Amino acid sequence: MLAPLLAGIARAGAADSPQDSAPASATLPSSPAAATPASPSAAPGPGPRFAVFGQATYVEQETNDFRSPYSGPNSLSPDEGRESTFATLYLGARLWSGAELWLDPETDEGFGLDDTLGLAGFSSGEAYKIGSDPPYFRLQRAFVRQTFNLGDDRAPVDAGPNQFASAVSSDRIVVTFGKLSVVDVFDTNRYAHDPSQDFLNWSVIDAGSFDYAADSWGYTVGAAVEWYTGPWAWRAGLFDLSTVPNSPDLEPCCDELQIDLEMEHRHELLGRPGKLALTVFENHARMALLQDAIDYGIETGGPANPAPVRQFRKRDGASLDFEQQITGDLGVFARVGDAGGNVETYEFTDIDRTVSLGLSLQGASWHRPDDTVGLAGAVNAISAERERYLAAGGLGILVGDGQLPHPGHENLLESYYSWAILAALHATFDYQWVENPAYNRDRGPVSLIAVRVHLLL
């Protein structure tokens, strides 16, 4: 299926793709953080007017025969295996000075485990919430990026998917608008953000509590403004939410919307680069208070149900994102996040509080410089109100076993080895262990094994 799509793709830039990516697809690459300014004479020229890149990613994942005394509509199943395949074209055109247009058509096929249900920190960022046996086509991104250089210094930016080779000043303003993913711009991390190349778990590649605006494929329509000045970067964005929580359709014209703000500081520690970013979001939409959903279930004699009691209100949250290079091959990262626990989650997943920590090591020391080993752990938690909601039979975006007599934190470990078969072809072996899946001490622990093959042209 993939060969006809990828056979005619011509490479139009550097070999390496940017590491910042949204679940299931490559993202808009961030401008270089703290890049050493090059002299104007060393900056790249205008370059080609058009660019074409392509990628294909295949993931197969399986669960073990874990303990499961009961299950509900959103439960993870023992002894299950699923696969997903994605192939994407990145089509770019230079519009005018500093402006780029990118279109990302994609063909998708396959499913996540249990139709992407059963874990709050879901096990594959390459699995959309809508699966399909026959391949189907979507235009996932269609956006314009305009860069305004404010200084005379210039630092080169390599070409890659969704990025032309260019030269930018350390002080600049970047405006992006159109269809994209919120996490193309916000909550990026060089070590844990790209499920096609690094970690797979949703609560490792992004802050699990970041309930970012998205349709069921992880994309939305909106605009973001970034201001880079010295070691600082400031970002603001306005994006459409979906029509109802976890919907494939977006609410047009910002009737229901998300506001995102981010403050980032880049630094050097013992001569090695790192950064710390604070991300804040606020959702304005028709959402239910969890206690109202519980009360409705009691009144009607059924499970907790948010749909009849939704009213226009807001839900907000914040997260910290840290990354630090330790040696030329070793980097560490961490995230911590918190979001309102009395309101139903809207887009991403059922996590109110999260902490994740990990490391990424390239293989130069064993003479495999293009190989990567990753190790991460995460603890995901929910509020007391959400525990009562799930115990009353309520269903979240991804979780809901029909009951929750013994709640607990969802704890997970993930490790992977990415093997560079060729410069453009990587095979990854991934293992995850999850305790208390969907916050349920009665089920699990779960072992999940995955194989991923990623081709970039």
Q: Which two tokens stand for residue 352?
A: 């109110």
pLDDT at 106 over 50: yes
Structure tokens at 355: 């902490």
Token pair recorded at residue 76: 């993870």
pLDDT above 80: residue 45 = no
Question: What is the mean pLDDT of the segment spanning 225-229?
Answer: 97
Q: 262 falls in which pLDDT band (50, 70, 90)?
A: very high
Mean pLDDT lowest for which of 57-71, 154-168, 242-256? 242-256
What residues does each domain of the chain span? 2-456
**Spatial CA neighbour of 31 closest among 322, 226, 272, 262:** 226
Q: Which tens digit of pLDDT belongs to each residue from 116-135?
A: 999 999 999 999 888 888 99
Q: Average pLDDT for residues 347-369, to the nearest whole number?
A: 97
**Class for domain 2-456, per CATH?**
mainly beta
pLDDT attached to residue 32: 35
**53 — pLDDT class (breaks 50, 70, 90):** very high
pLDDT at 8: 37
Average pLDDT, integer, range 419-424: 96
pTM, entire model: 0.89
Which pLDDT does position 12 carry in this prediction? 35
Res 253: pLDDT: 78
Helix axis angle, 384-391 to 290-300, nearest 10°: 20
Task: For residues 424-430, give the mean pLDDT.
Answer: 98
List the one residue out of 1, 27, 22 whose CA is nearest residue 137.
1
Q: Tell which residue, 395, 450, 408, has the closest CA to residue 198.
A: 450
pLDDT in tens, 178-222: 999 999 999 999 999 999 999 999 999 999 999 999 999 999 999
The 10 Å CB-count burial string (b at 16+, else e) for 94-104 is beeebebebbb
Q: What is the band of 21 on the pLDDT scale with cuts at 50, 70, 90?
A: very low
Q: Cα–Cα–Cα angle for 318, 321, 324, nearest 5°?
A: 165
pLDDT, the chain, mean: 90
Q: Is the predicted pLDDT of residue 30 greater than 80, yes or no?
A: no
Buried b (16+ CB within 10 A) or exposed e, 141-163: bbbebbbebeeebbbebbbbbbb
HEC string for 366-419? HCEEEEEEEEEEEEEECCHHHHHHHHCCCCCCCCCCCCCCCECCEEEEEEEEEE
Q: What was the pLDDT predicted at 46? A: 62
Using CA atoms, how far apart are residues 60 and 297, in angstroms rounded to an integer?
38
